[in-house]
Amino acid sequence: MPPDRGGGALFSLKFTVFAVGTVCLPLCGFIFCVIWSLIFNFEETTATHCRVPNYLPSISAAIGGVTPQRYVWRFCIGLHSAPRLLVAVAYLNFYQGGGGSFWRIRINFLLNVFEVLCLLLLTFISSNENHGEQAVINPLHPARLRSHFTSLSADIHKLAFVFFMFFSLGYMSLTIRIWRVLRKYSVSAEERRSYAWKKRLFFFNLTTFLISVMFYCRHTIYCEHG
């Protein structure tokens, strides 16, 4: 018979370390992509549809426009997504034991899962379109089919991004509401600190998103420099 190894855990990891490592994956990938784009692909990643100069690469161009940045970003997001789903399940179990609303907790869990899935979708389906191809009359010609495929990919990418932001902001907003209820039943200093950070990050995320939308609209409509 095999020796009795006991029922103890073979490996343990603090949740804080696990969460920080998960967050650092896309952050490190993003920093690498931007720096690499600035050094080696500045012209390609700062090009715009209206041919005005950009001072810095756009996020989509830096992480998905050229290689090897595209593959580094996909690798980081792929590794980042599985732990995110595990964290979503962990929070679901935590909230269920805290006396929160049954439906609110489950909707929050679904928003979190859909956010991760949309992030995967917009990461692995590129928004790049090839506008340099010559016009082809035959709809079954390979060049015409490639054009339709790239256009469809761009549409899917845009939709995935819209839903990603919707699910992300919805998840963060509902998380704050859940923690507001849980705070009444908890006196833990760590949990109160976590609640405060969640509120700060939600308002920071919402503010930066609205500013990004404003600059995107101005750039698209007026083709301003920068």
State pLDDT tens for residues 45-66. Answer: 887 777 777 788 888 888 887 8
Q: pLDDT tens digits for 176-192?
A: 999 888 776 766 787 78
Instruction: Specify if 25 maps to a domain.
Output: yes
pTM score: 0.79
Structure tokens at 76: 């980081």
Q: What is the pLDDT of residue 59?
A: 81
Instruction: Specify if 70 maps to a domain.
Output: yes
Structure tokens at 109: 């869990």
Q: Is 183 left (phi over 0), alpha (psi -120 to 50) or beta?
A: alpha
Instruction: Specify if 5 maps to a domain.
Output: no
Instruction: Specify if 32 maps to a domain.
Output: yes
In which residue are the tokens 């930066």 written? 208
* Contacts with 162 (C-beta within 8 Å, 6 or more apart), sequence order: none
Instruction: Specify if 11 maps to a domain.
Output: no
Instruction: Out of 120-129, 153-162, 166-175, 210-219, give the one with best mean pLDDT.
Output: 166-175
**Residue 47 and residue 129: Cα distance in Å, rounded?**
13
Specify burial of residue 208 (Cβ count, 10 A radius: 0-12, 13-18, 19+).
Answer: exposed
Phi–psi pair at 162, nearest 5 degrees: -60, -50
Beta strands in 90-193, from DSSP E residues, in sequence order: none
Instruction: Specify if 89 maps to a domain.
Output: yes
Is residue 29 scored above 80 in pLDDT?
Answer: yes
Structure tokens at 84: 């995110």
**Residue 157 and residue 62: Cα distance in Å, rounded?**
15
Q: What is the DSSP letter of 133?
A: S
Q: How many domains does the chain have?
A: 1
Q: pLDDT tens digits for 134-145?
A: 444 445 445 555
What is the mean predicted confidence (pLDDT) over 15-44?
87
Rounding to the nearest 10 degrees, give the CA dihedral for residues 156, 151, 124, 27: -90
Specify burial of residue 57 (Cβ count, 10 A radius: 0-12, 13-18, 19+).
Answer: buried
Instruction: Specify if 199 maps to a domain.
Output: yes
Instruction: Specify if 4 maps to a domain.
Output: no
* Residue-range definition of the domain harbouring residue 173: 17-222
Specify burial of residue 171 (Cβ count, 10 A radius: 0-12, 13-18, 19+).
Answer: buried
